[in-house]
Amino acid sequence: MRISRQTIRTVLFHVLAWVGFAVYEQAIILIAYPWKFQLLPVGLTYLLNAGYFYANARLLLPHFYARRRYWAFGLSTLLLLGAYAGLRTGLYLRALPALHLPTMPVEGSYWQVMLSSAHRGSFFLFVSMGYWFARHAVALEVQKRKHEQQLRTAERSLMEANLAFLKNQINPHFLFNSLNFLYAQVYPLSENAAKGILLLSDTMRYALHEDNNGKVMLTQEVKHLHNYIAINQLRFNNQLQIDFEEEGNFQFALILPLVLITFVENCFKHGELGDAANPLRIYLGVVQNRLTFRTHNKKRDGPKEKSTGIGLVNTCKRLEIVYKDRYSLHLDNGADYYTCNLTIDL
Please list the pLDDT of the chain residue by residue as tens digits (346 residues): 677 777 888 888 888 888 888 887 777 766 666 656 677 777 888 888 888 888 888 888 888 888 888 888 888 888 888 888 888 888 877 777 776 665 555 556 677 878 888 888 888 888 888 888 888 888 888 888 888 888 777 777 777 666 665 555 555 554 555 555 565 666 666 666 666 766 766 676 676 655 545 788 888 889 888 888 888 887 788 888 999 999 988 888 888 888 898 899 888 888 888 888 889 999 999 988 899 999 999 988 765 555 544 578 888 888 888 888 899 999 998 888 999 999 999 8
Position 14 scores a pLDDT of 82
**116 falls within a domain:** yes
246 and 140 fall within a common domain: no
247 and 142 fall within a common domain: no
Phi, psi at residue 291, to the nearest 5°? -90, 135
**99 falls within a domain:** yes
143 and 42 fall within a common domain: yes
DSSP per-residue letters across 105-145: ---S-HHHHHHHHHHHHHHHHHHHHHHHHHHHHHHHHHHHH
The residue among 305, 295, 241 whose CA lies nearest residue 270 is 305
State which of 101, 128, 154 marks the end of a domain. Answer: 154
Position 101 scores a pLDDT of 61
Containing domain of residue 130, as a range?
38-154
**183 falls within a domain:** no
**216 falls within a domain:** no
CB-based contacts of 66, cutoff 8 Å, min separation 6: 136
Residue 272: CATH number of its domain: 3.30.565.10
State which of 154, 184, 203 marks the end of a domain. Answer: 154
What is the Cα gyration radius of the chain?
A: 36
147 and 247 fall within a common domain: no
**87 falls within a domain:** yes
**189 falls within a domain:** no
pTM of this structure: 0.48
State which of 154, 188, 213 marks the end of a domain. Answer: 154
CB-based contacts of 21, cutoff 8 Å, min separation 6: 46
Q: How many domains does the chain have?
A: 2
Measured distance CA(91)–CA(42) in Å, rounded: 11
